[in-house]
Amino acid sequence: MCSVRDETTVSAADIARLAAVGRTAVSNWRRRYADFPQPVGGTPASPLFALAEVEAWLRSQGKLLEVPLVERAWQELRARAGDDLQLAAALADAGDLLVKSQDSAPAAVRELAVALGAADAFEVLLRRFQEGQARRAAVTPPEIAELMAALTGGAQTVLDPACGTGELLLAARDHGGACRLLGQDAAADPARLAGIRFQLGGSDATVRTDDSLRRDAFPGVLADTVLCDPPFHERGWGHEELTADPRWIYGLPPRLEPELAWVQHGLAHLAPGGLAVMLMPAAAAARPPSTPGGSSGSRKRATGPMGAGAASARSASRPRSRMPRNAAATSRL
């Protein structure tokens, strides 16, 4: 019976990472060396190779002394996933084992946890996952997360209604001093990964899976700060279903401007004197009144309620974002 390691496959990009060379070098090796391992799967455009065969060949050529521990742990997870679309679940499974007892984690993951500590080992593997899923997974860049957290001014309770894998909540804990973290996300895998990060970090955190706009997991909860990097490109956010929702006290958000629904959702969860910090599309501040589905009046009502102060700041570009967004809007009740 083959072991998990024997069945692990790697792409040309993975081989380049193993040998610390560029993709071009791997292509050249395939052309120049007749004994270079043959593909065992994938497609002609994206072939996959057996990791054990690649390691043996690299060593025989003096191009690899030892596979880095992080790489071994990552390839172990990929083999367990069987399909890159299942990587998030495989990573979460490994994280759950680290939370319970790192002795029960996969061998290389366990070794990595011994070397770095369980929390840091999981963070390293999560970053590797995010690098490979850049087109599918939207992650708030660390520098923007830190900026948004710094604006909170030492809030104790922080809510993120579209928390993803928890970047903003972790920034609020590490840079804003928050001690109670509440998160919700419509996607199960990111929410699960966020929860594991908090457990491994010893945080007082609650993470729920569901659509915040349609099914709020924290009804009636008031937070000192709401931080959010919402999926504002999703036009089917529930406009028709939520026309009479009590959160729209500043007007029903236009169907084609979901960012205003997220703003009002955030404001509905603020305690008196609380602060909401939302990462918004730059177009939200410059959208002309003639834009279908909205008006300048509804926009002003939704972003400047009850005399709440509102401000926006230009920030760095977001190459890994769901869509380009570069304005951080803040409102205080």
Q: What is the mean pLDDT of residues 45-66?
A: 87
User: Looking at residue 286, what is its pLDDT?
Assistant: 65
User: Judging by beta carbons within 10 Å of its beta carbon (0-12, 13-18, 19+), is residue 143 exposed, middle or buried?
Assistant: exposed
Is 80 exceeded by the pLDDT of residue 123?
A: yes
Q: What is the DSSP string of 153-199?
A: -S-SEEEETT-TTSHHHHHHHHHH---EEEEEESSHHHHHHHHHHHH
Percentage of residues of the chain with pLDDT beyond 70:
81
Q: What is the mean pLDDT of residues 292-302?
A: 48
The answer to whether the beta carbons of residues 94 and 103 sit under 8 Å apart is no
User: Looking at residue 230, what is its pLDDT?
Assistant: 92
Domain ranges of the chain: 1-67, 68-137, 142-332
Q: What is the mean pLDDT of residues 303-330?
A: 43
User: Looking at residue 295, what is its pLDDT?
Assistant: 47
Is 70 exceeded by the pLDDT of residue 40?
A: yes
Which of helix, strand or coil describes residue 287?
coil
Angle (deg, nearest 10), helices 107-116 and 118-132:
120
User: Looking at residue 329, what is its pLDDT?
Assistant: 57
User: Looking at residue 101, what is its pLDDT?
Assistant: 86
Query: 6 pLDDT band (50/70/90 cuts)?
Result: low
Is 60 exceeded by the pLDDT of residue 28?
A: yes
Query: 75 pLDDT band (50/70/90 cuts)?
Result: confident
CATH T-level assignment (fold) for domain 142-332:
Rossmann fold (3.40.50)
Could you give the CA distance from residue 274 to residue 157 in angstroms, rounded to a whole number? 10
Judge whether 1-67 and 142-332 match in fold: no
Could you give the CA distance from residue 193 to residue 65 in angstroms, rounded to a whole number? 33
User: Looking at residue 265, what is its pLDDT?
Assistant: 96
Classify 1-67 by CATH class.
mainly alpha
User: Looking at residue 308, what is its pLDDT?
Assistant: 44
Q: What is the DSSP string of 8-36?
A: -EE-HHHHHHHHT--HHHHHHHHHH-TTS
Q: What is the mean pLDDT of residues 210-223?
A: 96
User: What are the helix (H) ranges across the chain?
Assistant: 4-7, 12-19, 23-32, 51-60, 69-81, 87-100, 107-116, 118-132, 142-150, 167-176, 188-200, 258-268, 283-286, 296-303
Is 60 exceeded by the pLDDT of residue 293?
A: no
Which of 64-68, 99-103, 166-170, 196-200 is the least confident region?
64-68
User: Which of 207, 201, 193, 202 has the alpha carbon at shortest distance from 90?
Assistant: 193
